[in-house]
Amino acid sequence: MPVILATTTVSGWSMPAKGDLLFITGGEKDVMSLAAHGFHAICFNSETAFIPAAVIHRLSFRFKHIILLYDVDSTGLKSSAKREEELKEYGVKRLLLPLAGTKTEKDVSDYFMLGNSREDLIKLFLDYLETLYSETMSALKSCEVDFNNPPPIAQMIVSVNDVPLGTQGNLLCITGGEGTGKSNYVAALIAGAIRPTGTDVDALGVTLHENGRNKAVLFYDTEQSEVQLYKNISNLLRRCGREAMPEWFKAYCLTGMSRKERLLSIIQSLDKYHYQYGGVHLVVIDGIADLIKCANDEAESIAVVEELYRLAGIYKTCIVTVLHFIPNGLKLRGHLGSELQRKAAAILSIEKDSDPAISVVKALKVRDGSPLDVPIMQFSWDKEKAMHVYLGEKPKEEKDKRKEDELVAVAKEVFSRRRFVTYVELAEEIQSILEVKERTAKSYIRFMREKEIILKSSDNQSYYVIGNF
């Protein structure tokens, strides 16, 4: 039963272990009236009685809202205001009933006697929450989804075989070890973004949406010297057939700035060029880890990724970040890598092939699809053209081999903790490890069964890894 009667001592209390709303009233009559309408309530000796903080402290762990519901006469109003101030550190609030404050119209019992219902009191409490949360609700209003007015479809900026890698309002992460060709790869992306309208460019296997309106393209390098950056820009201009930098293409060497100054410079210049050129088509940050003190600092990592993600959304652009880490399978290392794994729309890993002259590009994450189904792309240095060139996709056999190797690694991780796993558990584990959707996880289970990475157990309910793996 929802009634709770109390004196100033704890003895004799009977209440639910957990609840949402608890009223503190001035007397037992009001407690009984609230209980009759399905509310939890307590009272002390009187409205003027001192309420022990220790009691409220314990109650605050059991109830979301503790509300003073005293009489609305002068004594009740004065007492409830005093108790609210005394107990504010525990979130105790007071609710004022819309009554005249006279002898026959002052408490919650009178409120119900006048014909008000349980729903009316809940509505009164809801109106109070509207006032209490007004700032938060105003901020949320701009974030509310209006199903009758769908948002515009985000334009693809970077794609491969019509699979979106970088879209408006999202992050694209390029990662890999030292000397794998990451800087040359992002230079090719920039070349695709600034190419003259109606022309083609070798963007090393990916397609860049044409920047027909000449929106700003921004390139921030936090690692290379100004001399090396100038050389890279010269090469990317030659790649896209331009003799000079377009006015709306801006490139900056940020090595001379402090890490704090770098991020601030990116934020402010992005805002300026958004208005100056009617939008921002593409942003490239070669060295996101150099925007913070430590890539393994969780708070810093979350803050910088959230800020870049916010900027991508505000300016409806794609921000390409280069993370100079060596990836481990389908996961990135460190807090910065983990946060990018969650936020980025796609993550591409650049590694050296068995032939060190060739670099291969593999998808570690694709938000709209499966990373293991994205083709493995190849590029290498062409001495005659004096630039890196696209060598095409790896054969399908190699893509299937990569898929098999990655899923073997996943199976080893899952079954290292237990011998048998149900279908549902295995699907959940794959979703967690590879950060894919349920549909993709189930397709991986089918592939694992076809390749005999896993076998059904005799009870037809569980799976186990076969001995060869």
Nearest residue to 72 via CA among 111, 41, 40, 39 = 111
C-alpha 96/C-alpha 74 separation (Å) is 12
Q: Residue 469: which pLDDT band, with cuts at 50, 70 and 90?
A: low
Number of domains in the chain: 3
Residue 310 placed within a domain: yes
Cα–Cα dist 22/59, whole Å:
9
Mean pLDDT calculated for residue range 36-60: 91
- Report the C-alpha gap between 47 and 49 in whole angstroms: 6
Check if the beta carbon of residue 189 is closer than 8 Å to that of residue 158: yes
Cα separation, 204 vs 360, whole angstroms: 10
Please indicate whether residue 76 or residue 416 has the higher confidence score (pLDDT): 76
Indicate if the pLDDT at residue 460 is higher than 80: no
Examine the domain organization and report whether 270 and 347 are in the same domain.
yes
Res 328: pLDDT: 59
User: Given 359, 394, 429, which residue is the final one in a domain?
Assistant: 394
Answer yes or no: is pLDDT of 5 > 60.
no
Tokens 């930098």 map to which residue? 245
**Do 313 and 430 belong together in one domain?**
no
Q: What are phi and psi of 461, to 5 degrees?
A: -115, -30
Q: Mean pLDDT throughout 253-258?
A: 93
How do residues 200-228 score in pLDDT, each as one tens digit?
Answer: 999 999 999 999 999 999 999 998 899 99
Percent residues over pLDDT 70 in the chain: 93
> Can you tell me the distance from the alpha carbon of 432 to that of 293, in angstroms, rounded to the nearest whole number?
29
The answer to whether the beta carbons of residues 266 and 232 sit under 8 Å apart is no
Sheet holding 421-422, edge to edge: 421-422, 462-465, 454-456
- Per DSSP, helices labelled H in 87-179 are 108-113, 118-132, 134-141
pLDDT of 2 over the 50 cut: no
In the chain, the percentage of residues whose pLDDT exceeds 90 is 56
Task: Kindly state whether residues 193 and 247 are assigned to the same domain.
Answer: yes
Phi, psi of 208 (to 5 degrees): -105, 130
Query: Is 7's pLDDT higher than 70?
Result: no
Task: Answer whether residue 11 is part of any domain.
Answer: no
Q: What CATH number does the domain containing 161 carry?
A: 3.40.50.300
- The reply to whether 368 and 318 lie within a common domain is yes
Residue 345 lies in a domain: yes
Residue 418 clears pLDDT 90, i.e. is over it: no
CATH code assigned at 99: 3.40.1360.10
The tokens for 167 are 């879209």
Residue 249 lies in a domain: yes
Mean pLDDT of the chain: 88
Strands (E), 249-357: 249-253, 280-286, 318-323, 346-352
When pLDDT is averaged across residues 140-152 and rounded to a whole number, the result is 81
Cβ 273 vs Cβ 249: under 8 Å = no
What is the C-alpha separation between 204 and 165, in angstroms, rounded?
A: 14
Quick check: 303 and 259 in contact, CB under 8 A? no
Note the pLDDT of residue 401: 83
Closest CA relative to residue 23, chosen from 64, 72, 54 = 64
- Dig out the tokens for 333 from the structure: 């290392």
Q: Each residue of 63-96: b (16+ CB within 10 Å) or e?
A: bebbbbbbbbbeebbebbeebeeebeeeebbbbb
User: pLDDT digit string (tens) for 328-376?
Assistant: 565 676 789 889 988 999 999 999 988 889 999 998 888 877 787 788 8
Comparing C-alpha atoms, which of 333, 375, 378, 382 is closest to residue 351? 378
* Residue 418: strand, helix, or coil: coil
**Residue 53: partners with Cβ closer than 8 Å, 6 or more residues away:** 86, 87, 90
Q: Is the pLDDT of residue 1 over 80?
A: no
Q: What is the largest CA-CA distance in the chain?
A: 99
Asked if 266 and 339 sit in the same domain, the reply is yes
Which residues form the domain of 275? 156-394
Pull the structure tokens for residue 283.
């942003």
For tokens 């800020």, name the residue. Answer: 307
Residue 142 pLDDT grade (very low, low, confident, very high; cuts 50, 70, 90): confident
Note whether 167 and 63 are same-domain residues.
no
Residue 31: Cβ-neighbour burial (10 angstroms; 0-12, 13-18, 19+)? buried
Closest CA to 375 of 357, 353, 402: 402
Tell whether 166 and 253 lie within a shared domain. Answer: yes
Angle at 129 between CA 126 and CA 132, to 5 degrees: 160
Mean pLDDT throughout 165-175? 93
Q: Which residue has the higher pLDDT, 396 or 287?
A: 287
Q: pLDDT at position 436, please?
A: 78
Average the pLDDT over 93-115 and give the result. 94
Checking if the pLDDT of 435 tops 80, the result is: no
Look at residue 187 in the predicted model and tell me its pLDDT. Answer: 95
Return the minimum-mean-pLDDT range out of 253-267, 341-355, 417-431, 449-463. Answer: 449-463
DSSP string for 54-97? HHHHHHHTTEEEEEE---SSHHHHHHHHHHHHHTGGGT-EE---
| Residues 378 and 443 placed together within one structural domain of the fold | no
Q: In this structure, what CATH number is given to the domain that contains residue 447?
A: 1.10.10
